[in-house]
Structure 1
Amino acid sequence: MGKRKQVKDGDVDMDGANPPVEGDDSDEEMEIVDVDFEWFDPQPVDFHGLKTLLRQLFDVDADLFGISELADLILAQPLLGSTVKVDGNESDPYAFLTVLNLQEHMDKPVIKDLISYFQKKASSTPSLAPLSQLLSQSPIPPIGLLLTERLINMPAEVVPPMYTMLQEEIAWALEDKEPYNFSHYLILSKIYEEVESKLDMEAPPQKKKKKSGGTQERFYFHPEDEVLERHALCSGSFEHTHQHDEGHSDSKRAFQEMGIKTGGNLMLLEAKNFESAVKAVTDYVKPSV
């Protein structure tokens, strides 16, 4: 049975950070649900929940990888990383964070596929040239692949404790001579761009939306990614290898007028800057008093 992790006082303040309940756009007060979050070590009961979150993270490209094998790798290091749950130990995780050593696992099929995928995306994205160079080395350096995802209604306040605990766990692992002495951290995340809705394009001329000029603006799904990017050696977004079916962007219009097009994003941090990046995330996410 996995142990419950202890969150120290000051690590997180969940006041006002309850997940919102989906409702209409009227002026009525939004209903608030009180939720108790618990942090756990990854454990076998999380297998299917982790697969769900990994598929959400990799989006339409998830089928390019052995997601089951990737979940097994995460579960094979139970003393590294965290899950966040709201219904006790046996429930599915609502969020997770872990790190995998790409050099240590480079012979495993799923890691081979991931390295090839990242290399292909980095080599075609000028801003990711430093990452492309690292992944081209043989063997590649000890890069820590940070994987993290959460359900859409999970507040950002659950993130800093996961990063803080990960730092502590890496330090303990290094004391035991385990292979977690990383040169860099590679963070995979998701971004989106607003696109003109096909529904609006099909509307009568007088009802069509005006097109905005200039380049498309990039948005992060998770606010902490914007902070992490400021500490990155390099970063860049990319289009998924597979594309969503036509009309998918309009299925994401529930809370905005525009449709959205999702994409991937990679950030490479030097290990020496990881601690300051985590502190910056903690300061950014901390609720205002």
Structure 2
Amino acid sequence: MSAPMKKRAVADKNNAVESNSESESDDNSSTENIEEYVGHQEIQVDFEGRNPVDSDFHGIKQLLQQLFLKAHVNLSELTDLIIGQNYVGSVVKQSDLDEEGSDDEDCDDNGGNDVFGITTVVNLTDKQNMESVQQLRSLLVELCGEYATDHVNTLVRSLLGDDTRPVGLLINERFVNIPAQISVPLLESLSKEISRACQKKMPFDLTYLILICKLYKMDASSQGRRNRNRNKQQQQLDINEEVVWLNPEEALFDEVADCKFEFCVKGESDTGLGGQWQEDDVEMTPYRKVLLFQADKLPSVITRIKTFLGQ
């Protein structure tokens, strides 16, 4: 189990749950300051990455809900599975709340809101006898059939039907406004835990990983309105602003994916940049993007993420 490493973040006093945090693993003991200014109120908050425990159930489930929205998946069973394999994966928690009272009744009554993020992997091949994993597999096949190309559809179906090439679901979820820097120690820890699990002959010798990403795209009407007020050079510079990755580091996984597809989730109670749009706002539409990449690329992508984030 990873020994917690504390990192300090500056959070909005009124929105601490959806603000900045950091985490760490036993292989990275440096402390880092992250400064994020929301309004004009700042507080210092310590967070830590640690393996999930039973009292994290509601917090983990809440994070899964914001990823899968209205999909027909038994998230309670999936959460139990994640906690049960606590030798792989980490949750992000506020460290001063865990020192004395991780089992406190108030913590449970609040629905586990002290869980700020979850990074783990679930073996969709080895655990296919479980209802939630069967539902995840069916969901992937259904989504491929509706949104993916014939090539992607064929590849995904082939992998899910071949037990000799295990496929894992990489879960990389956190609350909105928690900075991308937190992903580095979490993913590094996960990669090392997977390696240790494989050395112990546990079922984590995966061939491929699937990552479901949350992103937003600019509304066509908003894009047209904005482009009318910009020259061609400005429009070219703005092209990267037309897609917003809620977890920016996932754009690096997108670059190495063997195949991918996406679909709109507008109207499914999506969290993130949703809300009431003003007349002059650039309206963004929520999407999910499914990436399939080779599992052995995880360490190299983590290295690229560190460079991308300037770490």
TM-score grouping bracket, smaller chain normalisation: 0.7 to 0.9
Query: What SS does structure 2 have at the residue aligned with 1:165?
Result: helix
1:176, distance to aligned residue in structure 2 (A): 1.0
Question: Superposed, which structure 2 residues align to 1:48-63 within 5 Å?
Answer: 48-59=58-69, 61-62=70-71
The gaps in structure 2 that reach 5 residues or longer are 6-24, 108-113, 229-234
- Given candidates 31, 51, 60, the residue that maps to 1:41 is 51
Q: Within 2, Cα distance between the matches of 1:283 and 1:8? A: 21
Distance verdict in 2 for CA 1:252–1:14, change over 3 Å:
farther
- Given candidates 128, 134, 154, the residue that maps to 1:106 is 128
Q: Residue by residue, what CA displacement relative to the aligned partner does 1:168-204 show, whole Å, maximum 9, x if unpaired?
A: 111111111101000011111111122278xx9xxxx
Equivalent residue, structure 2, for 1:165: 189
Q: Within 2, Cα distance between the matches of 1:3 and 1:88? A: 18
1:4, distance to aligned residue in structure 2 (A): 4.1
Distance verdict in 2 for CA 1:174–1:10, change over 3 Å:
closer
Equivalent residue, structure 2, for 1:205: none
TM-score normalised by length of structure 1: 0.79
The gaps in structure 1 that reach 5 residues or longer are 24-29, 201-208
Equivalent residue, structure 1, for 2:286: 262
Question: Superposed, which structure 2 residues align to 1:200-279 within 5 Å?
Answer: 210=225, 212=227, 217-240=242-265, 243-244=267-268, 251=275, 253=277, 257-279=281-303
CA contact (8 A) 1:250 1:259 kept: no
Query: What SS does structure 2 have at the residue aligned with 1:264?
Result: strand
1:9, distance to aligned residue in structure 2 (A): 7.7
Question: Superposed, which structure 2 residues align to 1:127-166 within 5 Å?
Answer: 129-130=151-152, 132-136=154-158, 137-140=160-163, 141-166=165-190
Q: Which amino acid aligns with 1:14?
A: E
CA contact (8 A) 1:190 1:262 kept: yes
Q: Residue by residue, what CA displacement relative to the aligned partner does 1:17-53 show, whole Å, maximum 9, x if unpaired?
A: 24543x3xxxxxx433222121110110100000111
TM-score normalised by length of structure 2: 0.74
1:132, distance to aligned residue in structure 2 (A): 4.3
Query: What SS does structure 2 have at the residue aligned with 1:35?
Result: strand
CA contact (8 A) 2:152 2:259 kept: yes
Q: Within 1, Cα distance between the matches of 2:187 and 2:60? A: 18
**% identical equivalent positions:** 26
Query: What SS does structure 2 have at the residue aligned with 1:65?
Result: coil
Question: Superposed, which structure 2 residues align to 1:171-182 within 5 Å?
Answer: 171-182=195-206
Q: Within 1, Cα distance between the matches of 2:273 and 2:43? A: 29
Query: What SS does structure 2 have at the residue aligned with 1:266?
Result: strand
Q: Which amino acid aligns with 1:235?
A: K
Distance verdict in 2 for CA 1:286–1:13, change over 3 Å:
farther
Query: What SS does structure 1 have at the residue aligned with 2:171?
Result: strand
